[in-house]
A and B are shown apart, each in its own frame.
Chain A
Amino acid sequence: MVRIVVVQPAEPAPGRSPGAVEALERLGTEAAIDVVADAEACAARCRAAEVDLVVVDHALGLECDRVLDAYRCGGPPVVVLDAEGDDETALEAFRRGAADCVSAKAGYADVLPVIAAEQIRRWRAIRDRGSAERRIRDLERTNENILQNMNSAVLVVDAEARITSCNPPAEDILGRRAHELRGQSVSDWFKAAGSEIGLVTRTLREEVRFKGTESAITRADGTVVPIGISCAPIFDTDGAKCGAVAIFQDLSEISQLRNQVLQTEKMASIGQLAAGVAHEINNPMGFIHANLFQMAEYLADLRRVWRDLEALQKAIARGSAQDVSRAAEGLAALADEVDVPFLLTDLETAIRESQEGSERIRHIVQDLRDFSHHETGERVLANVNQCLDSTANIVWPMMKHLAVLEKDYGDVPSIYCLPMQLKQVFMNLLVNAFQAIEESVGQSGETGRIRLQSGVRDGGIRISVSDTGVGIAPENLDRIFDPFFTTKKVGSGTGLGLSTSYSIVRRHGGTLTVESGVGQGTTFHVFLPREREADLDGSL
């Protein structure tokens, strides 16, 4: 639809037939024609709606000039209608910016619609181009505003993996200004741990998308910043890959908090083993303590023998045969009484056994220290079987009186992982298995069985921890991974064990699932994919 404003005297020129409005109605397209009598009314119409054409009657004189002046430097085209068809009038109109001048002589009703249509077409072409350009400018400005003001760091690279733009948060994380970063190779900045190439480079090369993957970057000053990063390739309108965009956040604070939670939970799970640990230390302490006491007595006996030996030496020195034989008899009797050969042999045994005992205590303390150790957060290549086994070794002595342990480890490949965190998961599962058995032993008196299994499955590794304990009630199965959910007695569970384990496994891109039946026992399956980067869950 076109919108036309016709400015003409309230009383049209006599004898002009048809009038301008009737003539314009022959345009063929649907036209909304407003008729006004002066420049002000015309301007009001133009402000109210996008007008495609103004037709003004020259007979209006000064008003006609005002209309022309109003649109001289922009706005809709103005066509002047001149009753006389005077050249002088036309020239003046063009000088004032008229788009055209039509003489209102006989037959003008056929000419006016043609001219109007042409002017409208031209005007629309100009107007559309202008608004497209403005739209692009607006879009660019909006994009820039979003980029500059968002909290996440954004970095764009070209097809050659060179940085083309980045926003202030990206500057902050990388520790360099945008103009220093522009043109630099992105691989210098993004090197995922355990991977030869960084995530951005991989996105570019293999067109893989990452969503909320955890990685780390090394800043200009050498410090390593943990980041959560999403990465996607960019394609131009022809579908050709022209770069990649990376959106990332500094996870320092979050990972610090998370480490605190992990550490707390870990210490709590060790706390649950405290009784077992105490027992394990108590046993060697018991015999070392007793042996030391006994060795002191042995020493006292040996001292007595030595005293008699000295007396014999003195007697020999004095040369009295009687004294010598009396001293020798005394010594012989004493040696007999204290049984020196036994003493010497048993002293040796007691020392050896005590050394073994103290070595055992040292081991326990060492294991506990290793287990409570912080991890740097960097993924390393590790064998899951070894993680499982060393965890079982720590906790097993504390459980062995109530259960037997079966190990069925398959041949599994090493994967990039956080071994300490995986050990924490296994520790949790083992402690849970043990507590379930403890409960069932309390009910039935029969000792239980814990089975550890591992193997390759569905392109990843599956570790299963099964127990013959009391099992989990069906109504609780949905809630066991919820934080603070526990069915254990006050003091024997934090309610964080399984939820922490769950998030550790998710962070490895894996799953933690459970099968259980009341009175049947429980099996937890930990699945860890071999390819850890793809499709990682970003939840923290």
Chain B
Amino acid sequence: MDPSEAPAPCLLIVDDEARILSALRRALRREGYEILTFERAEDALRELEVRRVDAILTDQKMPGMSGLQFLERAARSRPEAVRLLITGWTEAIPSAELEHLGVRALITKPWDDAKLKETLRRVLP
């Protein structure tokens, strides 16, 4: 398939840690996604007001707004976007909450690059 025919899937990533964003970008470089990264959930929400994305990947533990809180608000403006959550091993998240928000996959830090790519390929249209 010629990439010029179908636009590249757009992936929006939020993490308060800039180095994580940088590493994720690096890992997904060859995956052919358009990648948007944000360190602040508020900024990402503003972007989502004006832009359609295919998938949203967010860290859970962030100052000001948790990943789940962010996903809940993001789902209001972009309900069609696939939602994914990155967590450390340390925070326990009730699966009911994940289900309620339609989180398709939980990625734990430190992540395995191959598995991450595989997961994204699976969930993205």
Number of interface residues of A (CB under 8 A): 28
The verdict on A282 contacting B19 (CB below 8 Å), with A275-B90, A290-B27, A350-B26 known, is: no
Q: Does B23 contact A (CB under 8 A)?
A: yes
Contact A282–B109 (Cβ < 8 Å): yes
Q: Does B64 contact A (CB under 8 A)?
A: yes
Contact A353–B19 (Cβ < 8 Å): yes
Within A356-373, the residues touching B (CB, 8 Å) are 356-357
Q: Does B32 contact A (CB under 8 A)?
A: no
A295 to B, closest residue via Cβ: B26
**A403 to B: closest C-beta gap in Å:** 9
Number of interface residues of B (CB under 8 A): 22
Contact B23–A294 (Cβ < 8 Å): yes
| Distance between Cα atoms of A447 and B64 in the complex (Å) | 7
Q: In the assembled complex, which residues on chain A have CB atoms less than 8 Å from the CB atom of B26? A: 290-291, 294, 346, 350
Q: Does A19 contact B (CB under 8 A)?
A: no
Q: In the assembled complex, which residues on chain B have CB atoms less than 8 Å from the CB atom of A18? A: none
Contact B22–A279 (Cβ < 8 Å): no
Majority DSSP secondary structure for residues of B touching A: loop
The verdict on A287 contacting B113 (CB below 8 Å), with A279-B90, A294-B27, A400-B63 known, is: no
Within A393-445, the residues touching B (CB, 8 Å) are 400-402, 445
Contact B61–A287 (Cβ < 8 Å): no
| Distance between Cα atoms of A327 and B52 in the complex (Å) | 45
What are the interface flags for A273-288 relative to B under an 8 Å C-beta threshold, 1 for contact and 0 otherwise?
0111011001111111
Q: Does A349 contact B (CB under 8 A)?
A: yes
Contact B110–A290 (Cβ < 8 Å): yes
Contact A290–B23 (Cβ < 8 Å): yes
What are the interface flags for A327-358 relative to B under an 8 Å C-beta threshold, 1 for contact and 0 otherwise?
00000000000000000001001100100110
B109 to A, closest residue via Cβ: A286
Q: Does B17 contact A (CB under 8 A)?
A: yes
**B49 to A: closest C-beta gap in Å:** 22
Q: Does B20 contact A (CB under 8 A)?
A: yes
15 A-B residue pairings within 8 Å (CB atoms): A275-B90, A279-B61, A283-B19, A283-B109, A286-B23, A287-B19, A289-B110, A290-B110, A290-B111, A350-B23, A350-B26, A353-B22, A400-B63, A445-B69, A447-B63
